[in-house]
Amino acid sequence: MSALPGFVSGALHAKLENVSRTDLKARAQRMSDSYRGGGTSAVIRSDLDALAYAIVRMPATYAAVRAALAQTAQIVPDFGPRTLLDVGAGPGTATWAACDAWPSLERATLIDDNSHLLALAQAMQASLDISAQRSAMAAALPDAASADVVLTSYVLTELPDASLRATLDRLWDKAERLLVIVEPGTPNGFKRILACRDALIARGAQIVAPCSHEGRCPLADGPRWCHFSARVPRSRDHLLVKDANVPFEDEKFSYLVAGKGFPPLDRGRRILATPKVDKSAVTLTVCTPDVPEQRRVARGDKDAYRAAKRLDWGDAI
């Protein structure tokens, strides 16, 4: 379970002082209704709207990015980036997750066209040098400095389909080593990830995660979609504003990490669903280049069974 880092939750807590929870709840509800109806974060039009976003959505998007980066770090454990470009950064969610995954980071540039969300990011005192640029990405990207890692989280879903390819090309051009894309774990989110995967492979990208190969995705035409799940602890204010009583939620996400200049990688095979454990075996749904495969590890095979019981959805074996 990945909770927001202390300096982020501390900054949010300070902003919440004297803010009516009833008002915050109404703003969060408006935002959820807009998202559910296919709307975008354009509905965030004030500092209080931005705070409502940070309370109800930021813990989940943080947990998703953090989980994707944990899976990435297992494939490239020696990679220690120094610079980051976070595009559609909002309150800096993906940047804070990257700081946690890669303490080597020294500098981050955050681009977003929403001044309220960007102001929230600037209120957080991170241990790295932050430069925030309020601009639409189409205008900012051509002149942005390239970075070891380019990250974009829950952003492509807000762009018109027609601009996806040009945006992706710009993001890839700015990435010195890795481009990380995180999207909602829905069939549509996966469709966008798949389109990005095809386009990036055509441009010579190495797929670092979650895939174990650059061949055709075995889920491209089937009924299932490649997505993962991150458990998110809910703060008291999160529970209050969302009118919830379960102290956690599960955020579903799809992601893609494309790399440049890495040696051949040992990527293993990704587990595509929660392992099924019963008295006789652990059954794993594993991605292979052809079809997702069911692998049964029988209880009789003691060491393998014990190891399989420790595995989770999203792990690579």
| x-or-dash string of contact with ligand SAM, 253-282, rule CB under 6 A | ------------------------------
Cβ(241)–Cβ(281) below 8 Å: no
Applying the rule CB under 6 A, the residues between 125 and 144 that interact with ligand SAM are 136-137
The residues in 32-71 that bind ligand SAM, with binding defined as CB under 6 A, are 41, 58, 61
The three-class DSSP label of residue 92 is coil
Residue 102's CB is within 10 A of a number of other CB atoms, namely 19
Provide the minimum distance between the beta carbon of 61 and ligand SAM in the complex, in angstroms, as a whole number: 4
| Furthest-apart CA atoms within the chain: distance in Å | 60
- Residue 155 within binding range of ligand SAM, rule CB under 6 A: yes
**Contact positions with ligand SAM (CB under 6 A) in 163-192:** none
Interface region with ligand SAM, contact rule CB under 6 A, candidates 90-98, 195-203, 251-259, 294-302 = 90-98
To the nearest whole angstrom, how small is the minimum distance from the Cβ of residue 169 to ligand SAM?
15
112 lies in the site for ligand SAM, by CB under 6 A: yes
Q: Count Cβ atoms within 10 A of the Cβ of residue 3 and give its class: 0-12 exposed, 13-18 middle, 19 or more buried.
A: middle
Nearer to ligand SAM, 182 or 308 (CB): 182
Residue closest to ligand SAM, measured at CB: 90
For residue 158, state whether it binds ligand SAM (rule: CB under 6 A).
yes
DSSP conformation class of 314: T
Cis bond before residue 210 (omega within 30° of 0) = yes
Stretch that binds ligand SAM, among 23-31, 106-114, 119-127, 234-242 (CB under 6 A): 106-114
Helices (H), the chain: 6-16, 21-36, 47-56, 58-75, 93-101, 115-122, 137-140, 161-174, 187-202, 236-242, 302-309
Name the strand (E) or helix (H) holding 262.
none
Out of 59, 88, 259, 314, point to the residue binding ligand SAM (CB under 6 A).
88
